[in-house]
Structure 1
Amino acid sequence: MRGVRAFEPLLAALAALATAAAAQEDGAPPSRIAVVGAGIGGSATARFLRQHFGPDVQLDVYEKGEVGGRLATVTVNRNRYESGASIIHALNLHMHDFVKQLGLKQRRSVAGKTAVFDGASVVAEETDWYLLDLLRLWWRYGSSFIRLQMWLEEIMEKFIRIYKYQAHGFAFGSLEELLESLGGSGFVNMTRRPLSDSLLELGVSQRFIDEVVAPVIRLNYGQNVSVPAFVGAVSLASAQSNLWAVEGGNKLLCEGLLKSANANLLRARVTSVRTLRSGGALRYELGLAGEGPERRTAAYDAVVVAAPLRAGADISFPDWASPAVPGEGEWQSTVVTLVHGYLNTSLFGFRDPRLFPYAGVLTTAAPALFFNSVAGVYPVEVPPGFRRKRAHEAAVYKVFSPAVLTGEQLKTLFRSYYSAQATEWRAYPRYGSAAGATLPPVELGPHLYYLNGIEWAGSAMEMSAVAAKNIALLAYRRWNGRSLRVNREDLLRAIKTEL
């Protein structure tokens, strides 16, 4: 995370602009706001901006690719399957609200058991009996499972305070302020120390970390237990059983949010953000890629960048000497391969595929393993009477791996297959060592906001929605010069006073 420190020079350079673009003197609402990116973060931002600024503001959303971003589907054997972000936690209240408000439905889940493979044998597994699973966990790992659960429950109990704060209109000008309002300095410190250190300090055993925690982190982030503790908590929460998805595909959330926001979807790649001066007011124009010279947009009163910023990549800030973006190599590549075929169960110690009991297999960090997980998946539209295919039947499997699978690797993992479709994502930040790291800013300049910095605290659909709501509230407060509800330290007491 060394690259995020590059934000500091930009903040210093922009400090001089703050006075000129403070609260608007005439009290008029902004006429035009731009959002760069139509993934879950950008589409949710458009929705929240419309709610706060009203119907008269022109909202333009720029998207260079498909609406949904890292929420996407691919077609295999005439059915569509999630190839991007695919699970939502029961406590993700913004996602619940979106589904309800947009008239969407939660997808029916199809139960299945999971195992952990270390390259030689299955070292942990689920059974059909919950009490037996608990006894096995206790026998192999002692109290580690209970200690982890208590830790996660305490974190989630504190994190859900954000919904109350946002419902009362409170916003935060930095990610550190947001996290500190939820869990004090403890939450901020969790973004700066490795998950493994935090768990060992809790009394979680090294064996449990290696055989249970690490496989979950590999599945969700394609990385190891050196990720920051807060990132790890977000990942481990997604491994719980109370998960769901959207019927028809999670990307329907983005399409519905843009439509409900009455946003103008503009198919263009934004290459730069430049400042403009007009009558003493600071505005922004966007540079767009195209044939010949860079094209320019009309002026915007506010801009939200809802796409990852990378040095030397997509978006530049030519008016500023030092672009505040993480380094080019600091976004993790993860490959998702959807394979229609027959799983090679003998790899996991089951010569007879009819005896293979698992729907999915996670892997430890054994050097010889070339994949992070493999699991049978079901379509985004689950037909009536659908059942999971058994391993001796042809089924669709999703494989996560750090690199595109070779033909030889596919033959190792599958007895035979009809098709294999790979999608390579620049999916998450490459967290690396969390020691001494700082989080990216929310405000890049006056009325210029960066949403995807939240991913350095934790990358998930709900985290993006929380950041979107915060930016919409912050933009509204900043525009109208109402700072009383920004970075308020006594939030709980203030809310109780209001009630």
Structure 2
Amino acid sequence: MAVRSGLAFVLLINTGVVTCHLEGEAPKKIAIIGAGIGGSSTAYFLRQKFGHNVGIDVYEKGTIGGRLATVTVNGQEYEIGGSVIHPLNLHMQEFVKQLGLKHRKGVPEKVAIFNGEHFVFEETDWYLQDLFKLWWRYGFGLLRLQMWVEEILEKFLRIYKYQAHGYAYSTVEEMMQSLGGERFINLTRRSMTETLQELGISQRFIDEIVTAVTRVNYGQSASIPAFVGAVAIAGVQAGLWAVEGGNKLVCSQMLESAKVNVIHTTVTSISLQQSGNKPLYQVKYESENEGGYDFYDIVIIATPLHHETTNITFNDFTPPFTPFPGHYQRIIVSVVHGYLNSSYFGFPDPKLFPFATILTVESAKLFMLSTGSICPVNITTNYRRKQPQEAAVWKVFSLKPLAKEELKTLFRSYYSVQVTDWLGYPQYQSGKGIPPIILHENLYYLNGIEWIASAMEMSAIAAKNMALLTFNRWNQHLDMIDQKDLVHKIKTEL
């Protein structure tokens, strides 16, 4: 049992570092590296836990929002990063409510799945007709898939209750074990294809429906681990929404609400310093005109630490740090303002083309992952989606930049093309290790959770866990970390 007397000295031994500080003595300064949804929500939750006397610096070398970003076409902004939010994403729901933001008005659309020659599935205006078509082609695959995803979501939603009671986890594996036991751990190690086959779902359904979803959401096939596959499926369910004005507003508004100091510069190194027996971390940074450094009691890295994603060096740590193994998936986002070539999809008359979004299966004939007509981040009450024969703004996902011939294949003509080259999310492989959260006594890594599933809400969940973990470890509330059987424990507390 941890001693919680305000006068008691606490001795904490971890990874070879001995820390001695007064219980209840708050850290003076905290650094967060990265101002995407993970770093911004970490700052927001840290302010709630540690109060307003703690200095919080947020370092960001690019724009606030990170992989939540927009481009401008004809004076209107369009999402090019994280675009949709699930209705059960409770942290994102709460952010929007507390920050005074609004849900963006939805615009109806029809979806089709293309195999390079013809559509293998076409959505209609009639829900029951679509269900019949799915049953006729795939049997009961859709029903089995929905039941499986809902069962996973039901267990995963326990995280909100655990976090509301102040419980935290020191590793992503501990979190998954607490929520769903060994079954959840196995879902991060076994492929989506293998898991769905065991549920009796046909290979045709996996190759066409499931693969189309994993390609548009993660740029990868159904061989990804089952847990991230379930998150991908949840990402196309009913009720999805977005933030009016752009999802990136959540990040900037949280930083403003938390009253943090945003430093627009590049962090180059983190070094271990000593202040008596208490570790102190030196963060060095540089910009075009100047460089500098500062010292922090706690440092949280909220940006990927992998070979192609980081230039941060770590000094004076034993053992020395090296970038984590694994790679991020390169995704090219081409935002095209132009006229879709509906003939490519088998519709010579563009007026008869009914689809706003085209997903794809895996095929050597295809050069794109998906193509969709997109709406601006600000939608007025009288807004209508462009007719198929009109010039519209299309977002094309592909694994490599589109050649001119490919653009001519997709579009009859176009006014502009804006290309964003993302390292969007991890390359998911079954059995791949998950990076740690605790790198050193008070040095933490947020983005490990991406390696079980990358999504806005997953980052927000990791951020809340990070705030709780740092607070509980700083104040020696060890009984609030990695607790087992919380379902029954919380019931007893109530």
> Residues 446-495 of structure 1, C-alpha deviation per residue, up to 9 Å, x if partnerless?
11111111100100000000000000000000000111010000211111
Q: Which has the higher contact order (CA 8 A, sep 6+)?
A: 1
Q: Is the aligned partner of 1:255 residue 2:252?
A: yes
Aligned 8 A contact 2:15 2:440 in 1: no
Count of matched residue positions in the alignment of Structure 1 and Structure 2: 480
User: Displacement, 1:289?
Assistant: 2.8
Match of 2:126 in 1: 129
The amino acid of 2:476's aligned partner reads G
Q: Aligned partners of 1:324 and 1:102: how far apart in 2?
A: 38
> Residues 14-59 of structure 1, C-alpha deviation per residue, up to 9 Å, x if partnerless?
95434x13x6335310000000000000000000000000010000
Match of 2:284 among 279, 283, 287: 287
The amino acid of 2:60's aligned partner reads E
The amino acid of 1:240's aligned partner reads Q
Aligned to 1:297, what secondary structure does the other structure show?
strand
Q: Aligned partners of 1:240 and 1:16: how far apart in 2?
A: 43
Q: Aligned partners of 1:285 and 1:381: how far apart in 2?
A: 42
Percent of aligned pairs with the same amino acid: 54
Match of 1:491 in 2: 486
Match of 1:9 in 2: none
Aligned 8 A contact 1:126 1:133 in 2: yes
Aligned 8 A contact 1:112 1:360 in 2: yes
Aligned 8 A contact 2:286 2:292 in 1: no
> Residues 317-336 of structure 1, C-alpha deviation per residue, up to 9 Å, x if partnerless?
13245424334x71111111
> Residues 285-312 of structure 1, C-alpha deviation per residue, up to 9 Å, x if partnerless?
11213469x9452210001100011137
After superposition, residues 375-386 of structure 1 pair within 5 angstroms as 375-386=372-383
Q: Is the aligned partner of 1:472 residue 2:467?
A: yes
The amino acid of 1:326's aligned partner reads F
> Residues 381-431 of structure 1, C-alpha deviation per residue, up to 9 Å, x if partnerless?
002211111211111111111111111110000011011101111110111
Match of 2:53 in 1: 56
> Residues 131-153 of structure 1, C-alpha deviation per residue, up to 9 Å, x if partnerless?
11111111100011111000000
The amino acid of 2:96's aligned partner reads V
Match of 1:298 in 2: 294
Q: Aligned partners of 1:156 and 1:26: how far apart in 2?
A: 38
Match of 1:391 in 2: 388
Q: Aligned partners of 2:224 and 2:304: how far apart in 1?
A: 19
The amino acid of 1:459's aligned partner reads S
Match of 2:445 in 1: 450
Match of 1:17 in 2: 16
Instruction: Report the CA distance shift for 1:291/1:113 in structure 2 as closer, same or farther (over 3 A).
Output: closer
Match of 2:477 in 1: 482
Supply the RMSD in Å over aligned alpha carbons. Answer: 1.5
Aligned to 1:80, what secondary structure does the other structure show?
strand
Q: Aligned partners of 1:47 and 1:290: how far apart in 2?
A: 26
Match of 1:88 in 2: 85
Q: Aligned partners of 1:49 and 1:297: how far apart in 2?
A: 22
Q: Is the aligned partner of 1:71 residue 2:68?
A: yes
Q: Aligned partners of 2:444 and 2:251: how far apart in 1?
A: 20
Match of 1:10 in 2: none
Q: Aligned partners of 1:316 and 1:206: how far apart in 2?
A: 46
After superposition, residues 39-50 of structure 1 pair within 5 angstroms as 39-50=36-47
Match of 1:318 among 301, 315, 319: 315
User: Displacement, 1:315?
Assistant: 1.5
User: Displacement, 1:60?
Assistant: 0.2
Aligned 8 A contact 1:37 1:306 in 2: yes
Aligned 8 A contact 1:24 1:480 in 2: no
Aligned 8 A contact 1:192 1:438 in 2: no
Q: Is the aligned partner of 1:177 residue 2:189?
A: no
Aligned to 1:314, what secondary structure does the other structure show?
coil
TM-score by length of 1: 0.94
Q: Flag as ranges the 4+ runs of structure 1 deviating above 4 A.
A: none
The amino acid of 2:376's aligned partner reads P
After superposition, residues 89-488 of structure 1 pair within 5 angstroms as 89-290=86-287, 295-311=291-307, 313-320=310-317, 321-327=319-325, 330-431=327-428, 433-435=429-431, 437-488=432-483
Q: Aligned partners of 2:312 and 2:234: how far apart in 1?
A: 33
